[in-house]
């Protein structure tokens, strides 16, 4: 199975989703991300969904799970790059992504994480 | 516009159904937001077919009402069916591991929504989204 790459940038991890997401890939990403956070001691995770043309309830739930998982492992998560049409659809679907930090792009996401003390360790 | 029949037997098929619905929606000139809503609804319904129906199929086609174009997608499975449809459409209700937004959420995202089901008799969900 194709796995999504997780890049380490300084004290942060960057996951940039560039393919049509299959459910099994999302589940694998969750496990890989937990491993990489522990392995690298990363303090922040940026998940870039710029290329995603939809976020349905499954993907939304996995984003929330990854944010919760990172928190438990002492890392903050920011989801960046959500398209306007995706945001409108998500809200109408009933998914509010409570507890997930968001930013408009990768740069702002990284800044948000460093303001939160992400580069302190 | 041809009628597309797609099997739903695995995760990769859910992706293929999304792509077919997207192509049909672009062809019918749905706005970007309406395309996104329809594809998201199709994703929820295709996953339901797989997860709760044990697999099945989807039929995607363009429809026309006068000058208005739209896309119809039908999701069919021969699974256990749904005993209480009203309950299944309620936000937050789930019999599986989801958030319980699939069926009710999908209904909110489309213009027409019909569900035919009976215990032991499978489930067929039909959705239509019209270009504005």
pLDDT at site B2: 84
In three-state secondary structure terms, A49 is coil
Rounded Cα–Cα distance for residues B83 and B120 (Å): 9
Residue A34 tokens read as: 């937990």
pLDDT at site B97: 54
A55 at B interface, C-beta within 8 A: yes
Distance from CA of A54 to the nearest CA of B (A): 6
- Mean pLDDT over residues B59-63, rounded? 97
Tell me which residue has tokens 């790459």: A5
A93 at B interface, C-beta within 8 A: yes
Domain architecture of chain A: domains with CATH? 6-107 (3.30.750.24)
pLDDT at site A59: 92
pTM of the model: 0.91
Rounded Cα–Cα distance for residues B116 and B123 (Å): 6
Domain boundaries, chain B: 4-130
Q: Please say whether the dihedral angle defined by the alpha carbons of residues A100, A2, B43 and B89, taken in this order, is positive or negative.
A: negative
- Mean pLDDT over residues A117-121, rounded? 48
In three-state secondary structure terms, B127 is strand
Give ipTM to 2 decimals.
0.88
Count H helices and E strands in chain A, helices first: 4, 5
Look over chain A and give the mean of its residue pLDDT values, rounded to a whole number: 91
Name A48's Cβ contacts closer than 8 Å, sequence gap at least 6: A14, A15, A16, A17, A80, A81, A106, A109
Which tens digits make up the pLDDT trace of B64-122?
999 999 999 999 999 999 888 888 888 776 665 555 667 889 999 999 999 999 999 99
Which tens digits make up the pLDDT trace of A18-63?
888 999 999 999 999 999 999 999 999 999 999 999 999 899 989 9
Residues of chain B with C-beta less than 8 angstroms from the C-beta of A92: 37, 105, 108-109
Contact A95 B99 (CB under 8 A): yes
Distance from CA of B82 to the nearest CA of A (A): 20
Residues of chain B with C-beta less than 8 angstroms from the C-beta of A25: 11
Search chain B and give the residue with CA nearest A26.
Answer: B11
Residues of chain A with C-beta less than 8 angstroms from the C-beta of B40: 54-56, 89, 93
Give the DSSP letter of residue A56. -
| pLDDT above 80 (res A102) | yes
Please classify residue B108 by burial: count the beta carbons closer than 10 Å to its beta carbon, then call 0-12 exposed, 13-18 middle and 19+ buried.
middle
What is the CATH T-level fold of the domain B4-130, as seen in this structure?
Heat Shock Protein 90 (3.30.565)
Q: What is the largest CA-CA distance in chain A?
A: 39
Tell me which residue has tokens 């992706």: B15
Which tens digits make up the pLDDT trace of B14-53?
999 999 999 999 999 999 999 999 999 999 999 999 999 9
- Which among B14, B18, B91 has the least Cβ separation from residue A94? B91
Tell me the Cα Rg of chain A: 13
Which tens digits make up the pLDDT trace of A74-89?
999 999 999 999 999 9
Contact A22 B108 (CB under 8 A): no
Contact A86 B98 (CB under 8 A): no
């Amino acid at each position: 199975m194709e796995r999504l790459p997780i890049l380490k940038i300084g004290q942060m991890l960057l996951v940039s989703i560039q393919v049509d997401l299959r459910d099994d890939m999302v589940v694998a990403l969750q496990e890989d991300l937990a491993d990489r956070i522990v392995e690298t001691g990363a303090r922040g995770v940026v998940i870039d969904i710029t290329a995603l043309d939809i976020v349905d309830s499954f993907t939304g739930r996995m984003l929330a799970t990854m944010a919760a998982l990172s928190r438990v492992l002492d890392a903050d998560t920011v989801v960046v790059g959500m398209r306007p049409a995706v945001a409108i659809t998500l809200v109408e679907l009933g998914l509010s992504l409570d507890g997930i930090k968001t930013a408009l792009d990768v740069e702002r996401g990284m800044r948000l994480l460093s303001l939160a003390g992400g580069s302190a360790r | 516009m041809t009628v597309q029949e797609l099997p739903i037997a695995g995760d990769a098929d859910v992706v293929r159904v999304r792509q077919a619905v997207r192509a049909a929606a672009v062809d019918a000139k749905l706005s970007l937001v309406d395309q996104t809503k329809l594809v998201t609804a199709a994703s929820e319904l295709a996953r339901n077919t797989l997860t709760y129906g044990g697999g099945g199929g989807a039929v995607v086609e363009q429809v026309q009402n006068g000058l208005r174009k739209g896309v119809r997608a039908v999701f069919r499975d021969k699974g256990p069916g749904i005993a209480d449809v009203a309950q299944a459409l309620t936000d937050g209700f789930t019999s599986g591991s989801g958030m319980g937004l699939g069926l009710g959420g999908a209904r909110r995202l489309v213009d027409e929504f019909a569900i035919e089901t009976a215990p032991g008799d499978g489930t067929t969900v039909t959705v239509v989204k019209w270009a504005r």
